Structure 1
């Protein structure tokens, strides 16, 4: 089988460099950016690397025509949320099986997904499309404040804003909405994310985590962070996830990242993506389950189910991650390698990845995953995880100078 993988990031960041391509009797076509192309070279004899100068939809689609002429591919995989629709378009044009544009729309169009979820009987925030600020004001007058305004196909709280009152309309008055934005009622409660993998039509894992702060708090300087939970709430949320997945459009193999709000009484659907969650979720699953969820998904799409190991936790520990929020300014120093090693040892960190570089300008916070670095760690209980994440953040900040 020839498999086309859309991957705009480097092999090291995506961890594709750890996959055992040579053990598979298939051909892999990696489509990436010119900047990242060299990170995929020489990984495997059954891998061919293609690249584009700009990672834009029509440029990607045009490139697939030349890839198809080079050698027809049988399946397409996209791991980035913004490539879900692109992959669906490729499948439809070349008449390949997998998620089509209609199904992809459910996972990208936040108005559509909330409408569908409400129609199947699950609670979701009241949601409407908006064309201008008057639509936003009318929604606030009808349903009350606070309200949330965000892109219909956004991710990571990018361009998402909470309006606490009518006067806050000035915060968004410079935006041109078109049909690209929605407005939602604000639901009070705790925010959770559930990460699941479906292989051969069955749930392989279903992991519940709680955010320490709502992701919108990132705009106030709080680092996005979460910790896995257990107990009765976890059980309820897992059952909710399985029920939801049984009622929405899914494919035989798929990754899911679901976000819900729980107010102690009701569960409210917030959004879902047919992808692996961001932040520290991939390294956490790799350490906790000793698998790469991306690679397991690829094996399933290749019908290599016999190569997929039993997917069970390798220990009884809980896991958490933090995206250390940057201050506004220019990065002039970062921790040395030996300092990072000491921080890892003191905080039980098994994965740390720096996004900031010396000389980088942090102008303003634009989304909930913008960070100096990503840290993933493990501990015995939620209290220990919270303490370790706080200590790790403090130690990193003590070694970072932004002016």
Structure 2
């Protein structure tokens, strides 16, 4: 590591504490953040930048600062910043993920073109015009999935299952950033990993339901597989085969999503070169004691990191998030079950909010169990209790209005 590190950080995580994650280098960190952070007094530079991932201010400032003192590292935890961070690294001549590598993980068409060299992917096509979509449907038949090539969190995804769906879709404003792919049946699993020189952490989980289900009112969640489970090992092997097709940096986190079809085949959905979102970091800490963000960021800055555990965990965990209900409701108190590890209510959610993406939540719970099956049973029991105990504020207000005032 350089005698005088100078590190630029484009931050997304709303709760990251860089002074705690990188104490050796806190006074060398120049942080531009999408969210307002706490404990930033000891940083070399800190700015909260509204809509940081969408506006060019952070890049402009980093390039200006680099003229005064060259940066030795440039890191980001945000998928939407991977490409511009990579471009700046190449311009500054500092190590890290290249622009070509970042694009291959960000652009879902390029991603599938690359991954298709080593594993099966769904059939797909980039959409330049609406005719490209109708041609694809004639070739592949319904249902199909239409989505932006660089979006995340299941945002703006549309499943077309019939001519009526296509008719409705044709009335929407056309976008220039779309792709289409065949719909793959079967549950979806995810693999979350941090790989570095001499460091390897890989964990497998299954989504409780389809990530697209949130837009039809289904709560989202995830259940971990035990690492010694043969299917977890199969998923890890699939993950390794996917990465063989890509140009990968020396250090990176990865989030892989893969379908398990009814005929027992694994089919790539997507892979990203960043830490998984939603409750994945919290679940990983609970089961393995590994903080995915800290593990990857310390290695990216050339700092030592504790090795991942070498023995199977005593328990595994799962989470379920209750969606915003689209009407004013109040989440109940902590569920009364001994297996509940953590419960959190989204205090910043506006009354009557609707689901915006797959990580939207009114409240979420993390539960523990001996294995995947026990965790899933406990999750479903806890979810049922939460749904039964949601308090409808509209009905409450009407009741209060109808109740005569006491004297």
Note if contact 1:128-1:184 (Cα within 8 Å) is conserved in structure 2.
Answer: yes
Note if contact 2:149-2:177 (Cα within 8 Å) is conserved in structure 1.
Answer: yes
Note if contact 2:187-2:210 (Cα within 8 Å) is conserved in structure 1.
Answer: yes
Over 3 Å counting, the alpha-carbon distance change for 1:176 and 1:129 in structure 2 is farther
Report what 1:217 is aligned to: 213
Report what 1:6 is aligned to: 10
TM-score by length of structure 1 reads 0.87
Report what 2:376 is aligned to: 386
Note if contact 1:356-1:371 (Cα within 8 Å) is conserved in structure 2.
Answer: no
Report what 1:205 is aligned to: 201
Within 5 Å, give how 1:294-305 maps onto structure 2.
Answer: 294-305=293-304
Offset at residue 145 of structure 1 (A)? 0.9
Offset at residue 289 of structure 1 (A)? 2.0
Note if contact 2:98-2:249 (Cα within 8 Å) is conserved in structure 1.
Answer: no
Deviations 1:71-96 (CA, angstroms, capped at 9, x unpaired) = 43211111122121221222223222
C-alpha separation in 1, matches of 2:302 and 2:141: 50
Report what 2:36 is aligned to: 36
Q: Would you say 1:396 and 2:393 are equivalent positions?
A: no
C-alpha separation in 2, matches of 1:346 and 1:176: 48
Report what 1:116 is aligned to: 114
Report what 1:374 is aligned to: 364
Deviations 1:217-243 (CA, angstroms, capped at 9, x unpaired) = 111211111211242222211111122
Q: 1:143 aligns with which of 140, 143, 150?
A: 140
Note if contact 1:288-1:313 (Cα within 8 Å) is conserved in structure 2.
Answer: no
Q: Would you say 1:183 and 2:180 are equivalent positions?
A: yes
2:81 partner SS: helix
C-alpha separation in 1, matches of 2:359 and 2:215: 11
Over 3 Å counting, the alpha-carbon distance change for 1:7 and 1:353 in structure 2 is farther
Q: 1:88 aligns with which of 74, 79, 86?
A: 86
- The alignment's C-alpha RMSD in Å is 2.4
Q: Return 231-240 or 103-112, whichever deviates more.
A: 231-240
Note if contact 2:118-2:241 (Cα within 8 Å) is conserved in structure 1.
Answer: no
Report what 1:315 is aligned to: 313
Offset at residue 140 of structure 1 (A)? 0.7
Deviations 1:183-219 (CA, angstroms, capped at 9, x unpaired) = 001111221111111021x562211111121111111
Over 3 Å counting, the alpha-carbon distance change for 1:358 and 1:282 in structure 2 is closer
Q: Return 282-291 or 387-396, whichever deviates more.
A: 387-396
C-alpha separation in 2, matches of 1:50 and 1:328: 34
Offset at residue 245 of structure 1 (A)? 1.7
Over 3 Å counting, the alpha-carbon distance change for 1:314 and 1:233 in structure 2 is closer
TM-score by length of structure 2 reads 0.87
Deviations 1:144-184 (CA, angstroms, capped at 9, x unpaired) = 11100001111111111111122211332243444300000
Note if contact 1:279-1:322 (Cα within 8 Å) is conserved in structure 2.
Answer: no
Within 5 Å, give how 1:2-401 maps onto structure 2.
Answer: 2-10=6-14, 13-14=15-16, 16=17, 19-24=20-25, 27-33=28-34, 36-37=36-37, 39-42=38-41, 45-55=42-52, 56-69=54-67, 71-118=69-116, 120-200=117-197, 204-230=200-226, 231-263=229-261, 264-305=263-304, 307-312=305-310, 315-331=313-329, 333-335=330-332, 339-340=333-334, 343=335, 346=337, 348-357=339-348, 359-363=350-354, 365-397=355-387, 398-401=389-392
Offset at residue 314 of structure 1 (A)? 7.0
Q: Return 167-176 or 291-300, whichever deviates more.
A: 167-176
The runs of 5 or more residues in structure 1 that have no matched partner are none
Offset at residue 22 of structure 1 (A)? 3.2
The runs of 5 or more residues in structure 2 that have no matched partner are 395-407
Note if contact 1:193-1:259 (Cα within 8 Å) is conserved in structure 2.
Answer: yes
Over 3 Å counting, the alpha-carbon distance change for 1:203 and 1:387 in structure 2 is same
C-alpha separation in 2, matches of 1:4 and 1:352: 34
1:249 partner SS: coil
Over 3 Å counting, the alpha-carbon distance change for 1:88 and 1:20 in structure 2 is closer
C-alpha separation in 2, matches of 1:246 and 1:59: 35
C-alpha separation in 2, matches of 1:41 and 1:115: 42
Deviations 1:332-381 (CA, angstroms, capped at 9, x unpaired) = x344xxx33xx2x6152333343354643314x33222111233222112
Over 3 Å counting, the alpha-carbon distance change for 1:17 and 1:393 in structure 2 is farther
Q: Determine which structure has more spread, i.e. the larger CA radius of gyration.
A: 2
C-alpha separation in 1, matches of 2:341 and 2:311: 16
1:172 partner SS: helix
